[in-house]
Each structure stands twice: as C-alpha cells, then as structure tokens.
Amino acid sequence: MDITAQQLLARRDQAMGAGTPLFYNEPLHLVRGEGVHVYDPAGRCYVDMYNNVPCVGHANPAVVEAMARAQSTLNVHSRYLHEGIVELCEKLVGLHAGKPTAGPIESVIVSCSGTEAIEVALRMARFATGKQGIICTDGTYHGNSELVSKLSRLSLGNNAMPDVRSFPFPETYRPIQPGLSEAELTEAYLARLQAAIDGLNASGEGFACLILCSILANEGLPDIPAGFMEKASALVHKAGGLVISDEVQAGYCRAGRWWGYEVSGLRPDIVVTGKPMGNGLPLAATAASKALVDNFRARTHYFNTFASSPLQAAVGSAVIDYIERENLAENVATVGAYLKAALKQRAGAAPAIGDVRGVGLFIGVEMIRPDGSADVETTVDVVNRLKDKGFLMSNAGIFRNVVKIRPPLVFRREHADAFLAAWDETIGELPN
Amino acid sequence: MDITAQQLLARRDQAMGAGTPLFYNEPLHLVRGEGVHVYDPAGRCYVDMYNNVPCVGHANPAVVEAMARAQSTLNVHSRYLHEGIVELCEKLVGLHAGKPTAGPIESVIVSCSGTEAIEVALRMARFATGKQGIICTDGTYHGNSELVSKLSRLSLGNNAMPDVRSFPFPETYRPIQPGLSEAELTEAYLARLQAAIDGLNASGEGFACLILCSILANEGLPDIPAGFMEKASALVHKAGGLVISDEVQAGYCRAGRWWGYEVSGLRPDIVVTGKPMGNGLPLAATAASKALVDNFRARTHYFNTFASSPLQAAVGSAVIDYIERENLAENVATVGAYLKAALKQRAGAAPAIGDVRGVGLFIGVEMIRPDGSADVETTVDVVNRLKDKGFLMSNAGIFRNVVKIRPPLVFRREHADAFLAAWDETIGELPN
C-alpha cells in the first residue's frame, strides 16, 4: 500500500468506523472504471470479475445519459403521477410473463435496496398468510435490517429466534448424509425443510414463507440435488406458505436467463430484485400478484421517499433496455459456459481445486486441502495473487473457500481468455 | 383529470398495486421541475411548497453535474478504497463540530434511506446498552421496515409491542392536562416519558433509547413546552439510555440552522439524516461517536451494497457544498420567519385557523372547527384549492388537519409573497 492509500485508510477508519469492510490483504484504491475495467491512481488496469452491480459495465454511457437527463428534468417522490415509474414496473412484470412462477407476477413495489425489498417480501408473506414463521437455509444472507439479519448465517447460530428457522442448504458436494443416491438426497433435504415447517406450526408461529436465493449464491453456488427446487416449492405451497425467490444476485441474466428461478426450478410467488437493477443507482423491487401487492399496500400504506422516482425509473429502464438490446443473456450463457468448462478442464490437474460449479457468469471454484476440507488460506491466496495480476474477484461460501467469479454481464470471451492465462499462472505458483 | 392522467392512473394501479399513495383529490401529473417550480404536461407551473428532498432546488445543475461526472467516472461499492466517501463522512462529522450534542459525533454509517439509517441507529443503541426497549412519541413516523414501523402511530394502537413504548408528544396547543403553567406542563410530559422508561425496565426489556424527530415534524410541528427537550435528554441519559435525533426532516438547514437539535434543545448521541442529503439520490446516514459506530460494525459486519458509493459521495458533497456556498441556512431563517409572521398576522381574522407554528421553512397551519376540534375537511379543501392556484403543499399532523408547508431551501421571499396572495384568496373562499 502506498502512502496515499495508508493515509486514506486511516481517515476512513476515523470517519466511517473501524471494521468497515474492505477487500484484499492490501486494500485496492480505485479511481476510474469503464466497461469491465477499473483503474487505480497509478493508472493500473484491472479486469473486474466480481461486480454484478455495474451489470452493463462501469460508466455505461447509456445509463449515465439516462441518469443525467432524468435528474435534470424532474426527480420527485411517487405521490404525483409520473409515467416513467409505471413503465419500469410494467417492464419488470413483462420480464416474468410466461415464466414458471407459482402465481402471476403482476405488480411491483419499488424500493432502494435489496434489504428494503426483502423486508417488503417477508412482510407481504406474513400479511397474506397471517403467520409469522420464515424459513431460510443455514448458509444464507439476505440483508442487513433487524428482521432480515435474522436470516443471516452469521446470526442463526444461537437458534433463539422463534420466528425464523433454517434447514441445511441442498448440495451434492458435501451432502447432508453420505451414500445416498441423488434422488434420495433430494428427499433427505426435503425432509429437513418439512421438519422446519412442522416446527414452526407446532410452535404457534405458523408458517408464512420459504425464502431462497434461486441459485443459492451465498451458500457457494452448490450443485443442487435434482428436482429439489420444484419439490420444495410444491411442499411449501401444500403447507399453505409462499415461496420468495431472492433474485438480487441470481436475476437480471446473471444465470444466462433473465431469472435464476428459470434455471433452478424454484417456483416463486414473490420475486425480489436489487443489485444490478440500477447499474449503481440504489434501486430494488418486490414483485408478486396484484392481490398480494394490494394486500400489502392496504396493510401498510407503504411509502418510500426515494423509491419509484423518475430517476430510478429512467435508470432502471435504461438498464433493462441495454440488456435486451445487447442480448446480454446470450453473452452470459455463452461466455459463462466457456469459462466454466475451461476451469473444469483445469481442475483435474490441480489437487487444491475441489469443485468448479455455477451458472452463467457466476462461477465458484472450491479450494480444498488434501483431506478434502475447506482451504480458506489457499482461497485467499489465490484471490490476492489474481488481484496482483490484474483480475478482481473475492471468496465466498459458508467456509469462505470458494473463489467467487461474478463479472459484469458485458464480460467477453477475450476477457475470459486473459483471465485463464492468469489463473494457470496462479495455480502454478501455489506450493505443492 | 384529463384522459392521459386517467389512463396513467389505471396503468399505475395495475403495475404498482392499488393504494399506492397519491396526493390531491385529482392527482397531479408532473413532467418537469426547476428550482422551486414544477410543471404538468400542459406546461402549467406550480410553486413547490412541499418537497424537502430537492432541497437545493429541482434539477439543480451543480447536483446534476456531480451525479453525471461520478457515474461516468467510477461507481463501485465500498470494499475498495475511495476518497470521495471518506470526504463526505468527514464533511458530515464537521457539520456537528461544536454543536450541543450529548456525545461527540465522529463517525458515520452511510445507507440508502431514512428507514435503513433509523434501523442502524436503533440497533446501534441496542448493542451499546444491551437493552431492547425503544421509546417514541404517540404521534410519530420514522420509516417502513418491520422494526421501524413499530414506531409508527399507525401501528401503535394495539399496544402489543413489548419492545416499543410511546409517550404523548409534548405540545402547548392541546396540552396533556389543562390548566397547567408551561413549566408544569413540561414536568407532566417528562413524567410520562419516565413512566415509559420505568415500564420497559419493569418488563425486562430494559431501556435502550429515546428516538425523536428533533422538531416533532410528523406530530404536526407543535410548540414544545419550554425546556422539555433538554430535560428529556438528561432524563434518558440518567436512565442509561441513548438519545437518537431523527434529523431526516429537521436537518440540513430546514429549521434555519444545520440541525433541528440546535433549535429545539434535544441532545443526541446518535443523529440520523436522510431526505435532503442527495437532492433525490437515495442517501442517508447514521452518525455517532466512533465508539458507538465501531461497536455496531463489530457486531454486524454491516455492509450495504449501494451505500458509501462514489455516486453517493459526489452527490452528497455537492449538496452540502451548495447549501454552504449559497448560505441557505440564512435564507431559510429569514424567509421562514417572514412567512410565519405573515401567516400568524392573518390568523386572527380567520376563525378556521387555530394555530400557526413551525421553525425555518417548515410551517404548520392548524385548521379547526368553531369548537376547536380538528377540521380535516377544511384542511384538505385548502390544500386542494391552493394546488389549483399553483401552490403545492399537503396536510399532516396526528389529526391530518395541519397544512404542511415545507418548500425547497431555495424558496425566496418573492415566492412567499405570491403564495400569501393565493392564501388570502383561498381563505376568503372558505364557507363561513
């Protein structure tokens, strides 16, 4: 770290508090970005392989133009009529048309962050069912408010939350029970989900909803036992609950289709979107049937000062239009499949690589020790070495031993090839 | 409403849900804004006397420029080093220097909405005290999440919330007990606050914090019995609790000084800001001592994807700089005092006007029936008539019978004079 960065870090600790999260052993100081590239003060260029928020690229001119035009024209709250925000909600609804959701997706509540949108979804499910109980996985994270942080794996350890229960997230790599066929494994996880539902019903809280990231991103992008998502959805509906699909990471073509639920088979009643929606502008949404939305509005008179503004509308529409116009879903599917196959191919020769998995441009590489246990040190080492070579990513998963590759949607094959060269070099540098 | 507006309203009900809040008997369709003015599709101009979010004026060129420049340069989350966000936090801290807070205001947690910032403040107080109990007034609103909506007067009716208690908001206009001197009235409200604290302690929840809007905006901007805010703060601190000042409406020169607590005498440990911070960009903050902030971060590893971004930094700094450069605090104090005095002068001749009160450019006019009871119908009538004459405001207060006047900070004496002419005309039109 140069002196400027050291001084900046000291000022940051004072002005923002110690423990404000930072990436990398030596924090990275950034000053500029363009497309999939970001730059430090010395002009050094990095390929961004982490950021899903600037989904259509850093400093995307179409988004900048929409933002500047909206802000210089009109930017008011939503208690006046404005066409832009209606159009954005109609576009969002349209993106679910004909897709395999549980109920119709007809109406949208716009907010400013994934946390706010998850709050709306959870409260919507509680109002609709008259029950309080929420079920999530034991390896998840959905946001940072009082209610939503109850769903974080960081806080679930104490088991002292009557209204939230977790079940083990479904995966084939470290299965809940060894020696089962995949079909049996699916049933084993379903049984744990059913037990959580039964527990809530027995406790008097009752069962309101299951909330899942449709591709289990924070759980480390596991390969999910076949049929689990469809069967879990059916089980929830049979129990009178609602399914919430957290598409904050999975949605917006991240998985090669518009929605993660299209890929994984989850059948949501309520869909939550966030991160990529505004290419950096705070923008999130909760979408559901009109009946669910109307009921939520009647119960809460929900109003959100900054949400549903002409600014959010213009930027949100520009992002959707850009993704459609540039056919980024196809780019994600093609480049993602290419990159995953290339990494899989290399895995055999590197014993530290336990697994390569993921969907679209969201790939996880699990790093393990010779005994198969999670190797966080090597994961962190790989991430930092790749940073030094000009490629930015992070580590994730419940053991933090999964290299998390999640570039902007405009990441192309040429970027993948450059990365693969750096990847080979990095793996070659690891101690045997 | 013209056909376009009717069609838009129908589309809105479908895409956003029925009950999405709207102002006025005939909703207003807006397409453009500039300074204190907004325009409908026919080009009709309205003076905006409601909106505090575009505090430095609709479409303020300095803000638009900062926004476009930041978004076209770099806009990433906060796990990289970036100087802009450190500067914004330092500026915010600087705005409290030498002011009568309870503890030092040293560090800032940035978020995207008032609701998020209030969540941070409440959880910060709970972590610091190890207690759960929150006290608010019986006429307040602080936000829309599960936790924060417990503090809304709309939901407090059921009294079924062990961790939240309310006390009657202090006021001289409809005092809690008739026939008392102002000093006695202050003590009467303090006794109710003490009873709420005692109740929380007796219940086992314990007492974490008192949260107040420093000028009691949602309560209807009451004249507060002398000394109440200082004495209430002392009482809270004596009981081991923290004082949270909600400056979402009161701050940013709204009351003629940077902070509402400077005017009312509240002595906060934690300060929450929101609405005007980004002139329309979602941006909010929770500021406190470094010890309080560090403890919160250690307990939560708080991270907010859209918050503390270069975009928020650039826009947030541009707003503060503009307010300082144009000396808007002085404009607010001068024009606000002029407008309030003019309205007070007129009150005597109009029996429907029960009270004129407020601070800076935040004025409330209480409308009453001959028996002194709240006259919501006349209030709504006045607000709609003024809209038809080209002046936008709303009604507020616990009985919704207070005309709420809260224009952008760039509202000048010439706008006040034009409004006063329309006000006189409107009052003259009211049935006797």
Q: What is the DSSP letter of B307?
A: T
Cα B147 to Cα A15, A40, A116, B291, distances in angstroms: 27, 40, 12, 24
| pLDDT given at position A154 | 52
CB atoms within 10 A of CB A189: 23
Please indicate whether, in this complex, the C-beta atoms of B72 and A51 are within 8 angstroms of each other: no
What's chain B's average pLDDT?
Answer: 96
Note the helical H segments in A39-113: 61-73, 83-94
| pLDDT given at position A258 | 98
Distance from CA of A134 to the nearest CA of B (A): 14
Q: Which residues of chain A have pLDDT under 70?
A: 154-160, 432
**A305 contacts in chain B (CB < 8 Å):** 53, 113-114, 274-275
Distance from CA of B169 to the nearest CA of A (A): 23
Q: What is the DSSP letter of A4?
A: H
**Which of B138, B214, B135 is closest to B174 using CA atoms?**
B138
CA angle B29–B32–B33, rounded 5-degree value: 115
Residue B1 has pLDDT above 80, yes or no: no
Distance from CA of B246 to the nearest CA of A (A): 15
Q: In chain B, which residue's Cα lies nearest the Cα of A79?
A: B22
The reply to whether A64-325 shares the fold of A31-56+327-429 is: no
Residue B86 CA to residue B88 CA, distance in Å, equals: 5
Ramachandran angles phi, psi of B415, nearest 5°: -70, -35
Residue B345 CA to residue B362 CA, distance in Å, equals: 17
| pLDDT given at position B157 | 55
Residue B100 has pLDDT above 90, yes or no: yes
Q: Going edge to edge, which strands form the sheet with A362-367? A: A353-359, A362-367, A402-405, A394-396
Residue B353 CA to residue B86 CA, distance in Å, equals: 48
Residue B346 CA to residue B426 CA, distance in Å, equals: 12
Kindly state the helix (H) or strand (E) to which residue A243 belongs, with its residue range.
Answer: strand A242-246
pLDDT, tens only, B402-414: 999 999 999 999 9
Q: In chain B, which residue's Cα lies nearest the Cα of A31?
A: B74
**A297 contacts in chain B (CB < 8 Å):** 17-20
Token look-up 């070659």 returns A428
**B11 contacts in chain A (CB < 8 Å):** 86, 90
Structure tokens at B78: 């906060």
Ramachandran angles phi, psi of B287, nearest 5°: -120, 145
Residue B224 has pLDDT above 50, yes or no: yes
Identify the weakest region by mean pLDDT among A150-154, A370-374, B41-45, B240-244.
A150-154
**Which of B392, B390, B387, B142 is closest to B274 using CA atoms?**
B142
CB-nearest to A76 from B8, B30, B78 is B30
Residue B65 CA to residue B188 CA, distance in Å, equals: 51
Give the residue-averaged pLDDT of B336-344: 98
pLDDT, tens only, B254-287: 999 999 999 999 999 999 999 999 999 999 999 9
Q: CA neighbours within 13 Å on the CB side: how many for A301?
A: 10
**A159 residue type, one letter:** N
Residues facing residue A242 across a β-bridge: A209
**A249 contacts in chain B (CB < 8 Å):** none
| pLDDT given at position A158 | 47
Please indicate whether, in this complex, the C-beta atoms of A83 and B54 are within 8 angstroms of each other: no
Structure tokens at A79: 């208690």
CB-nearest to A74 from B33, B298, B301 is B33
Residues 6+ apart with CB under 8 A from B72: A59, A61, A64
Structure tokens at B81: 């080093």
- What confidence tier does B349 reach under pLDDT thresholds 50, 70, 90? confident
Whether the CB-CB separation of A82 and B74 falls below 8 Å is answered with: no
Whether the CB-CB separation of A209 and A216 falls below 8 Å is answered with: no
Please indicate whether, in this complex, the C-beta atoms of A18 and B294 are within 8 angstroms of each other: yes
pLDDT, tens only, A411-424: 999 999 999 999 99
Ramachandran angles phi, psi of B322, nearest 5°: -65, -45
Give the residue-averaged pLDDT of B16-36: 95
Residue B313 CA to residue B276 CA, distance in Å, equals: 14
| pLDDT given at position A348 | 86
| pLDDT given at position B281 | 98
Residue A344 CA to residue A377 CA, distance in Å, equals: 21
Cα A423 to Cα A46, A399, A431, B186, distances in angstroms: 14, 21, 15, 70
**Where along chain A do its domains lie?**
31-56+327-429, 64-325
Q: What CATH number does the domain located at A31-56+327-429 have?
A: 3.90.1150.10
- What confidence tier does B2 reach under pLDDT thresholds 50, 70, 90? confident
| pLDDT given at position B432 | 67
Please indicate whether, in this complex, the C-beta atoms of B303 and A75 are within 8 angstroms of each other: no
Mutate to test the interface with A, among B144, B151, B286 (most CBs of A within 10 A): B144
Out of 2.40.128.110, 3.40.640.10, 2.30.30.60, 3.30.499.10, which CATH number does the structure's domain A64-325 have? 3.40.640.10
Question: Could you tell me whether strands B207-213 and B133-137 are parallel, antiparallel, or unpaired per DSSP bridges?
Answer: parallel
Q: What is the DSSP letter of B373?
A: -
**B57 contacts in chain A (CB < 8 Å):** none
Distance from CA of A15 to the nearest CA of B (A): 4
Distance from CA of B392 to the nearest CA of A (A): 11
Please indicate whether, in this complex, the C-beta atoms of B64 and A68 are within 8 angstroms of each other: yes
pLDDT, tens only, B358-399: 999 999 999 999 999 999 999 999 999 999 999 999 999 999
CB-nearest to B21 from A21, A90, A301 is A301
| pLDDT given at position B158 | 47
Structure tokens at A87: 């159009």
Please indicate whether, in this complex, the C-beta atoms of A145 and B147 are within 8 angstroms of each other: yes
Q: What is the ipTM of this complex?
A: 0.96
